[in-house]
Amino acid sequence: MATSAKAREDRIELRATKEEKRLLAAAAAYERLDVTSFIMRSALPEARKVVDSVERIVLSQRDTARVLKLLENPPKPTPALLAAARRRAARS
């Protein structure tokens, strides 16, 4: 059985049909893993992919150049932005 470098102390409850449980146990046994390790090995990469796709913005080369240009030469604040900054400062 595979062991993790970090001890798994938190629990996740999972409901499954008898057939799903049997299938997971069989697949884990074929891989010489316990069911928890099999599920974690299968689910964690997908979870990382989902989180990464939501939390990371990938810009095109054109958009990257535009953002860098704006960071180097920011536009002057608009009257609406100045008014919002004044309102914010008044609340503090």
> What are the residue boundaries of the structural domains of the chain, listed by start?
12-92
44-64 average pLDDT score: 96
d(C-alpha 28, C-alpha 19), whole Å: 14
Q: Give the pLDDT confidence of 19-37 residue by residue, as tens digits.
A: 999 999 999 999 999 999 9
Collapsing DSSP to helix, strand or coil, 58 comes out as coil
pLDDT value of residue 89: 95
- The 10 Å CB-count burial string (b at 16+, else e) for 22-35 is eebeeebeeeebeb
Q: What is the 8-class DSSP label of residue 77?
A: P
pLDDT of residue 7: 84
Residue 40 CA to residue 11 CA, distance in Å, equals 12
Check if CATH label 1.10.3470 holds for domain 12-92. no
Mean pLDDT for the chain overall: 93
